[in-house]
Structures are given as C-alpha cells and as structure tokens.
Amino acid sequence: MQSKVTNKETTTRSTIKNMFSRDKRSNNINDNGNPNIVDEWELRPGGMLVQKRNSDVNNKTSTIKVKVKYGSSYYQIHISSHASFGELKKMLTEYTGLHVLDQKLIFKKKVRDSKSYLDVERVKDGSKLVLIEDIESRERRILETLKIAKKEKTSKSLIEINLEVDKLSKKVSALEGVASTGGVIENLDVESLTESLMRILITLDEIYYGEGELKLKRKEQVRRVQKHIETLDMLKMTKAKENNMAHDDDDKSKVHCGVEKQQECKKQEQHYESVVVTTKWETFD
C-alpha cells in the first residue's frame, strides 16, 4: 500500500516539474521579472497538493489582520497568514474565554477545520470570520471531564479500600491462628470484623467503576472481602459446635448425677423398710 502511495506521489511530482519546465516558465514571472520556480510540493490531508511551506517563497512570512465576529463583539486579530485555524482559535480563547474545542470558525459560510491553514483556505488580510460556540462539543467535553473525575475518585477510593482490607485481613488471620491452637475466640471480635467487612462491600457496590482496569480492581477487592467473611462465618460455626458439645456434656453429667442420687435414695428406702419394730406394749386387763 505504501509503495502505491509513493509511486503516486512520485508521478504527481514529476508531472508538476514538467509543468514548470524551462520552456513553460514564461508564464510564471513575478513583478520583479524573476522566474517563480516551484521545486517542492507536498500532499495535504484530503488530497490537496500545495507548495511546501519551507520553500524560499514561503520563507517570507506575512502577518495579516482578520476580523472575527463573536455574538455582538468584534475582534481584530493579527496572525501569520500561514497559521492554522487551530492557532487562531487559541488566540481567540484569550479574548472570548471559549475553550478551543468549543469553538467553530466560519469563513465564507463554511465551518473550517482546526488543522486547515488560513492561506490554503484563501483567508487574506482584512478577511471576516464568524465565531460561534459549539454547544454539542462543550457538552461532550464536560461529560468527558466528569467521567475522568469519577474515574480518579474511584481509583482513590479503591486504594483506600485496599489498605483497609489489608488491616482487617491481618485481624482475621490472627483469629484463625487462635482457633487453630485451641484458643478461645470471642463472638464480639468475630461479629465486629464481619460488620466492618460488610460495610466495605456496600461501599464497593456504590462506587463508580466503569470498564477496564478499575472494574478488575473492584472485582478483586470484592473477592477478598467475601473470602474473609466466609472465614469468619466458619469460625462462628466451629465455635457454636464446640459450645453445643460442651452443653451436651453438662446435661449428661447432670443426668448422671441425678441417677446416682435416685439410686442412693432407693437404697435408703430399702434400709428403712428392712427395719422391723420389735417393741411390744404390755396390756392390762
């Protein structure tokens, strides 16, 4: 593809040089009688063929004055004739306060592209242009600015959440260590950590994350928090089972003690029953 473009440019340049060959230069004589020799040409975006701007002819940069109308105001702007419309917009920003991207410059009833050059579009000294505000562009730019601000805020929030999860993770690991060595875990500690992690989950659910890297980072934090909550739930279940087993042991011991007491009472009753009253009372007639 590049070779085709190169061949096309070479052919075009050859054609131009032939047009300005020695036998045809008589038509290109300036006011001083010197031949206007054109040696270098360039292809502009859009297919327009123009003389290179760094040629000897264009080295004589001229300054022109253009009149720009914006609303009810008029501005006289002095600018190089070889400047672009984008450069003119930058100068107008100082006068109007309009952002460069929010400007539309109209010349000869046509909106001009920022990359186009004044001289190429036939803007001359004394030319009149009209400046209007591009409402749609301004709205797009504001929305993009808000979107960027939201992303920055989300990124900052995720960093803070990551630090908080790291702190809570250490506490969860400490409780796991106590449980693994048979130590006593307080229910209050488990519940407090669980509540803190649940609050983080709610925060993650509310923040803006969009697409791409931020979405992946948010997903990773959600996964970490859920894993710690599951660990705490397992610790609570284990402790509950241990408490139930201890309670069952107490009940069994109470039952055992009750049975022993009942047996002892029965023995005493049997002992009393085995005693025979031998006393005989004397009777009188």
Structure tokens at 280: 């005989």
Residues 7, 42, single domain; the answer is yes
Report if residue 264 sits inside a domain. Answer: no
Query: What pLDDT sits at residue 35?
Result: 47
Residues 6+ apart with CB under 8 A from 150: 208, 210
Classify residue 129 by burial, with Cβ atoms within 10 Å: 0-12, 13-18, 19+: buried
- pTM (two decimals): 0.53
Helix (H, G, I), strand (E, B) or coil at 129: strand
Report if residue 280 sits inside a domain. Answer: no
Query: What pLDDT sits at residue 183?
Result: 80
Please answer whether residues 93 and 99 qualify as being in contact, where contact means their C-beta atoms are separated by less than 8 angstroms: yes
Residues 79, 149, single domain; the answer is no
Please answer whether residues 61 and 82 qualify as being in contact, where contact means their C-beta atoms are separated by less than 8 angstroms: yes
Residues 170, 206, single domain; the answer is yes
Report if residue 77 sits inside a domain. Answer: yes
Report if residue 11 sits inside a domain. Answer: yes
* Number of folded domains that form the chain: 3
In this predicted model, what pLDDT tens digit does every residue of 135-168 receive, in sequence order?
A: 999 999 999 999 899 889 999 999 999 999 999 9
Containing structural domain, residue 157: 140-252
Report if residue 247 sits inside a domain. Answer: yes
Report if residue 167 sits inside a domain. Answer: yes
Residues 170, 71, single domain; the answer is no
Report if residue 272 sits inside a domain. Answer: no
**Across 260-269, average pLDDT:** 60
Beta strands 63-70 and 128-133 are parallel
In this predicted model, what pLDDT tens digit does every residue of 62-73 receive, in sequence order?
A: 899 999 999 999
**Dihedrals φ, ψ of 132, to 5°?**
-130, 155
HSE on the CB side for 76, CA within 13 Å?
A: 4
Report if residue 121 sits inside a domain. Answer: yes
In this predicted model, what pLDDT tens digit does every residue of 66-106 receive, in sequence order?
A: 999 999 999 999 999 999 999 999 999 999 999 999 999 99
